[in-house]
Every structure is written in structure tokens, then in C-alpha cells.
Amino acid sequence: MSSFVYDALPMRVVFGSGSLARVADEVERLGLQRVLVLCTPQQRELADQVAELLGNRAAGVFDQARMHVPVETVEAAGTVAVDLEADGWVAAGGGSTIGLGKALALRTGLPVVAVPTTYAGSEMTPIWGLTQDGRKKTGRDRSVLPHTVIYDPDLTLSLPPSVSATSGLNALAHAVEALYAPDVSPVVSAMAEQGVRDLAAALPLIAADPGDSAARAACLQGAWLCGACLGSTTMGLHHKLCHVLGGMLDLPHAETHAVVLPHVAAYNLPAAPSAAAALNRALATDDAAAALAYLGSRLDVPPGLRDLGVAASDLPRIAAEVLAHPYANPRPVTGPDLETLLHTAWKGRT
């Protein structure tokens, strides 16, 4: 067996139907007295419900979370928190809201309780991201890890099948990259394989019946596992591409991951046979990249980057930014190879 290092992340997970009702207990357990509830404008109703459950431990609601976590949004939330004398955060929503909570934790050191409503999995990682002047900066810091994550499958029942699909494929991409990361370990490999299996099996069930509570729970479990994998390993070409695309062009986060996933998998998996074998087992196939593309088509995910509004003229500057600041990757990334990959992803599935 090859040598490895596995550094477990300190996370408390509360999982199960109706778990949202325990949010006040979790806040009290952390000794917090005045928490600011974070959400997007679209999820204000949920945030108000959380605030009601918190009672006098709720300092207020900040409902301006935005995709890719603009610096201006973080500053605005921080100002509100100071005015309200908040001593912590409850981030209720998807990746945008949880990303805001993590950015605020990075700046203030105040603890976060995460209540995910999508399958992004970012709540399980110490990775933060901030966007300023069209460039998304990311980093790792354990201070941004939520102290508690409350997974309540009931909160995902209203998630539209299209959003469920892209959100789930976003999480699945975390596991794919973790399997060929330079710091992968047997623990991460096992979690990644099971997370891919959970999501690949359950997402089509949700597409067929959005009210399938068992499939919703399976997807949330898969997102948890896939996010934990990303939190324990080094990101590669897939995440670098998505960060550049999102920061430069303000593309929808989950959709970008879903579109890019099979193309980067096809590029990298020939150089990562152990990862390919694990994915083949999880997807019950002998061609994991093709199976990922087929899964996207079954879930009616946009076929290519051009369907997300990317122009062919954008591709050269995307490639230049990726090559200027590359991430670790199992296969060397050259200019011609990257241009071919981007053009294929722009055109869409084959």
C-alpha cells in the first residue's frame, strides 16, 4: 500500500428528516447569543423560519447572499452584523449562502452553523472563495468550517429537479477530483466512491419524482460525502476551470461544474487508473467519462458552455488564466490540450 496522510476535519453533522427543528439547540450548544441568519433573497422565507426557531438568539436576517461571494456582499453583511452585535452566523441555503458564511467566518472568526438546502457539499470543506473585479480568489482555512451542519432532507423537497441535477453533479465533481488528487487516501477514496454511487443512483429518481423523500436523503448523503472528499484533498483542473469561468464571466456555479465535469474526466482519467476504476464501479460502467456525460443528458443539464452564455471569443482568455495559475493535476495541462478541452466543452456533449 502506498503511503498517505489523512487529516480528518472537525465537523459535527446532524442528519435526518425534521432536523431543522434542532437549530436552536445547536446554536445554544456553541454558546451563541445573537446570530445573524444569512440567505439569498429567494430564500427569505426559510431564513425567517430559522429566525423564528432561534427565538431571542436571532439577531436578524441578511438576505443578500450572491453567487461567487462578491467582496461587496461580505462587507455589507459584516456591517449589518456589527450594527446588530451578532456573535455568529446561521447560513441557510445553497452554496452562495454557505459561501458567504465561510467568507464572514474568515474575516471575523465567528462560528457558522450551516443548513444546506442544495447538494453542493461546500459546507463540508475549509475552502473559501471571494470574487472581486471579475476574478475569483480561493483559499483554504479551517476557520471557515461550519461548526455544525444540519442536513434536513425535507428542506430539499421543493428544490426543482433541474437545480437538483446541477447541484448534485457539482457535488459529484468534488468526488471525481478527490479520487485522483495527489493527497488522496483510502478513506477519501471510499467516501468518494460511495458519494458518486449515491448521487448517480438518486438524481434520476428525483427527476422522475421530485417528492421521493428517500432519493432526496440519498442525494444529501452523497453531497455530504463528496464535499468531505473535497475538503480533505487538493483541487485540480476541473475546479480551476470552474473558478475561472465563474469569476470572469459570472456563470451559474453548479451548471458550470455540471457542464465541465465529463470533459475534464475524459482528459484526466486515462492518467489516473485507480480513480477510473473506482468511478467505473460506482457508475456501473467501463467508461466513467461517457457515463457522466450520459447522466447529464438524462438529467437535462445544459450540454455545453455556449448554452450558459459563453462566447467562443471568451475561451482564449479563460485558457490563459488557467495556465497562468494552475492547480495540481494528474495529467500535465498544455496550451493546445486546454484549448481543445475548452472548445469541446463549449460545443457540448458528444
Looking at the domain assignment, is residue 150 inside a domain? yes
Question: Angle between the 253-268 and 95-108 helix axes, to the nearest 10 degrees?
Answer: 90
Alpha helices in 148-250 (DSSP H): 161-179, 186-208, 213-232, 237-249
pLDDT tens per residue across span 80-104: 999 999 999 999 999 899 999 999 9
Residues 238-251 have a mean pLDDT of 92
Our count of domains for the chain comes to: 2
The answer as to whether 5 is a domain residue is no
Are 134 and 167 members of one domain?
Answer: no
Choose the final residue of a domain: 156, 190, 212.
Answer: 156
pLDDT, tens digit (0-9, with 9 covering 90-100), for 114-140: 999 999 888 999 989 999 888 888 898
The one-letter amino acid code at 318 reads: I
Query: Are residue 166 and residue 152 in the same domain, yes or no?
Result: no
d(CA 58, CA 332): 50
Closest CA to 25 of 144, 148, 196, 132: 148
Residues 175, 304: one domain?
Answer: yes
Do residues 41 and 54 both lie within one domain?
yes
- Please, is 277 exposed, middle or buried when counting C-beta atoms within 10 Å of its C-beta (0-12, 13-18, 19+)? middle
Does one domain contain both 216 and 336? yes
84 and 232 belong to one structural domain: no
Is the predicted pLDDT of residue 349 greater than 80, yes or no? no
| Residues 192 and 274 reside in one and the same domain | yes
Full-prediction pTM beyond 0.85? yes
Pair 80, 181 in one domain: no
Confirm whether 39 is domain-assigned.
yes
Percent of the chain scoring above 70 in pLDDT = 99
Q: Report if residue 324 sits inside a domain.
A: yes
3 confidence band (pLDDT: 50, 70, 90): confident
pLDDT for position 1: 47
Question: Based on the domain organization, do 139 and 248 belong to the same domain?
Answer: no
Q: Does any domain span residue 341? A: yes
In this predicted structure, the answer to whether residue 247 has a pLDDT above a threshold of 90 is no
Question: Residue 350: what pLDDT?
Answer: 63
SS (H, E, C) 101-148: HHHHHHHHCCCEEEEECCCCCHHHCCEEEEEECCEEEEEECHHHCCCE
Looking up residue 188, the CATH number of its domain turns out to be: 1.20.1090.10
Average pLDDT, the chain: 94
Is 7 inside a domain boundary? Answer: no
C-alpha cell at position 299: 438529467
Domain of 25 in residue numbering reads as 12-156
Distances in Å between the Cα of 31 and the Cα atoms of 40, 59, 89, 147 are 26, 14, 12, 12
192 with 309, same domain: the answer is yes
